[in-house]
Structure formats: C-alpha cells, structure tokens
C-alpha cells in the first residue's frame, strides 16, 4: 500500500466540499431557478441567474474531480474516504444553515 501524504487528506476534504457544492447549484441552474452564488449582490446572499449557477456548478465539479483524483481517494483507503465524506458533510451542514435564510432576505 502506498504512503499517503498529509496534503492528500486536505485534497480529499476539499474534493468532498467542491463535489457536494456542485449539486444545489446544478439543480437550481438546470431547473431555471435563481440561487445564491459568490457572484450575487451581495455575494452569497443575493440570487444569481440559472446560467451563473450552472457555470458555478461546473466549476465546482471540475475542481472537485481534480482534487478527488489527486488525493487518491478509494475504497482501499478508509481514512481518505472518511475525510472525503467529512468534507461532503461539512459543506452540506453549512449550506443547509446558510441557505435556509435565502427567502427571508
């Protein structure tokens, strides 16, 4: 078994963040719905167009995939897999709290 470097754990965590962040932006974008992005006014609070959400989802997907590949996450390395899913969980909890307020502003 190959030795895992410290930075591969960081890559696995951020791969989980980026890949999970793809989902809400992609769904809203292809559904034609506005949804917050970092490009909205105010950033992260205002609503961006479906096109911006689709592009933002695509960016997240590409970055997440590149990080996933470079981190060497696999079923053979349970610790890296766990770190990846912790990243997924972290952004999911953050988003659920943050975006619960999007219709109140």
- Domain ranges for the chain, please list them: 12-99
Q: Kindly state the greatest CA–CA separation across the chain.
A: 51
- What digits encode the pLDDT tens for the residues 79-103? 999 999 999 999 999 999 988 876 6
The per-residue pLDDT of the chain, averaged, comes to 93
Quick one: 67 exposed, middle or buried, by C-beta within 10 A (0-12, 13-18, 19+)? buried
């Amino acid at each position: 078994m190959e030795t895992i470097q410290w930075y591969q754990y960081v890559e696995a965590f951020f791969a989980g963040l980026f890949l999970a962040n793809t989902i809400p932006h992609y769904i809203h974008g292809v559904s034609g719905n506005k949804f917050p992005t970092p490009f909205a006014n105010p950033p992260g609070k205002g609503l961006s167009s479906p096109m911006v959400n689709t592009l933002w989802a695509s960016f997240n997907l590409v970055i997440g995939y590149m990080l996933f590949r470079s981190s060497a996450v696999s079923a053979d390395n349970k610790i890296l897999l766990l770190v990846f899913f912790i990243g997924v969980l972290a952004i999911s909890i953050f988003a659920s709290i943050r975006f619960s307020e999007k219709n109140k502003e």
